[in-house]
């Protein structure tokens, strides 16, 4: 597994070493290291209670760690907490949206908090409401917004301060599939605009979709870190399955291809493969060279669920099991 060890310090949006936090005798973070290059998405993945929110709270200066150190946007977390706060935005599980006032008023309030001149505040508010498809609802109380609209408003409010680094703590928990995809799109746009995103999630598909690097938090430690592809490679079991209809053709293929596992009943052959284009092409070339044609070809790659299970021994939260908070 690769690390970013040789990355120059100034290109790291987040560089944390040995972060520790305990509540009483319960150790929540047992010395974790996190390095997030600027302009990338880092996902901290873990089950309920793993300590994801605790990590976000520490890195965003909301609570103090018991040990370890961190630099955020080049500033020391404890000695330069004010500078850290100026560089980051945090959208937590408990929304900053005030339901009693309108979306627009919430935005203007944020603009005031960031000391934007009135005219500029109105302009930024209008732009962000438009960008997050909230213009129509802007003058309605936020209490009338759907869950997805509230999350969008929450992120829009975070962006008023133009943060370079955004912490998104479980941004899609409780959202329906469509709103989740809208949120993913928003996150992708933020990143293409140069923002660094620190995303916590208990959904493997979300980390898979969005993250450049994923760290798996379990029992207070990072039990694995890497790109989604690197993590998937930790789990063997990827293969290509070829099914034939003619037993004679099946036999010819079984002889021509190496390293196959036979399923004589189904007339199917299984070939270990990571599913890359090159590997698939090689299999097709072998088949062509042997002059055989498969009825059906399918690629099976292990997904992050398999990885998570292999690493932690825990079943994972699935997207259709929503967490009740």
Ligand X SMILES: Nc1ncnc2c1ncn2[C@@H]1O[C@H](COP(=O)(O)OP(=O)(O)OP(=O)(O)O)[C@@H](O)[C@H]1O
Nearest of 254, 275, 279, 272 to residue 264 by alpha carbon: 254
CB of 218 to ligand X, least distance (A): 10
Q: How far is the CB of 219 from ligand X (least distance, A)?
A: 11
**Distance between CA 40 and CA 212 in Å, rounded?**
6
Residues between 3 and 62 that touch ligand X (CB under 6 A): 23, 28, 46, 48-54
Count how many residues are written for the chain. 325
Distance of closest approach, residue 202 Cβ to ligand X, in angstroms: 6
- Closer residue to ligand X (CB): 173 or 182: 173
Q: Which two tokens stand for residue 64?
A: 């103090």
Structure tokens that stand for 121 in this block = 């505040």
Question: Cβ atoms within 10 A of the Cβ of 263, count?
Answer: 13
168, 200 in Cβ contact below 8 A? yes
Which tokens in the block code for residue 240?
Answer: 């290509």
Residue 66 Cβ vs ligand X, minimum distance, rounded to whole Å: 13
Q: At closest approach, how far in Å is the CB of 130 from ligand X?
A: 32
Task: Provide, rounded to whole angstroms, the least separation between the CB of residue 157 and ligand X.
Answer: 21
Shortest approach of ligand X to residue 235 CB, angstroms? 23
Nearest to 168 by CA among 181, 151, 149, 185: 151
What mask of x and - would describe binding to ligand X in positions 201 to 220, judged by CB under 6 A?
-x------------------
Please say which residue, 26 or 120, places its beta carbon nearer to ligand X.
26
Site for ligand X in 168-207 (CB under 6 A): 202
* Cβ 28 to ligand X shortest distance, Å: 4
Which residue lies nearer to ligand X by CB, 130 or 322? 322
Size of the site for ligand X (CB under 6 A): 11
Span 102-161, contacts to ligand X by CB under 6 A = none
Kindly state whether residue 314 participates in binding ligand X, applying the rule CB under 6 A.
Answer: no
Residue 50 Cβ vs ligand X, minimum distance, rounded to whole Å? 4
Tokens standing for residue 211: 């993250």
Residue numbers at the binding site for ligand X (CB under 6 A): 23, 28, 46, 48-54, 202
């Amino acid at each position: 597994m690769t690390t970013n060890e040789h990355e120059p310090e100034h290109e790291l949006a987040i560089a944390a070493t040995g972060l520790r936090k305990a509540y009483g005798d319960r150790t929540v973070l047992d010395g974790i290291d996190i390095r997030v290059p600027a302009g990338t998405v880092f996902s901290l993945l873990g089950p309920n209670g793993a300590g994801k929110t605790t990590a976000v709270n520490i890195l965003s200066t909301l609570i103090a760690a018991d040990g370890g150190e961190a630099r955020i946007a080049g500033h020391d977390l404890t000695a330069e907490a004010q500078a850290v706060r100026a560089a980051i935005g945090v959208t937590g599980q408990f929304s900053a949206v005030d339901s009693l006032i309108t979306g627009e008023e919430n935005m203007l309030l944020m603009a005031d908090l960031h000391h934007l001149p009135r005219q500029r505040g109105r302009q930024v508010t209008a732009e962000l409401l438009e960008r997050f498809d909230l213009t129509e609802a802007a003058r309605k109380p936020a209490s009338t917004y759907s869950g997805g609209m509230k999350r969008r408003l929450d992120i829009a409010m975070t962006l008023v301060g133009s943060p370079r680094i955004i912490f998104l703590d479980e941004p899609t928990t409780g959202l329906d599939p469509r709103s989740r995809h809208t949120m993913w799109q928003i996150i992708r746009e933020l990143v293409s605009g140069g923002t660094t995103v620190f995303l916590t999630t208990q959904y493997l598909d979300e980390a898979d979709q969005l993250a450049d690097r994923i760290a798996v938090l379990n029992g207070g430690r990072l039990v694995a870190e890497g790109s989604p592809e690197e993590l998937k490679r930790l789990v063997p079991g990827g293969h290509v399955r070829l099914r034939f209809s003619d037993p004679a053709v099946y036999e010819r293929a079984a002889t021509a291809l190496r390293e196959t596992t036979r399923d004589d009943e189904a007339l199917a052959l299984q070939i270990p493969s990571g599913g890359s284009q090159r590997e698939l092409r090689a299999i097709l070339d072998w088949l062509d060279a042997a002059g055989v044609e498969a009825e059906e070809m399918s690629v099976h790659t292990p997904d992050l669920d398999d990885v998570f299970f292999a690493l932690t021994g825990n079943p994972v939260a699935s997207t259709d099991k929503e967490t009740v908070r």
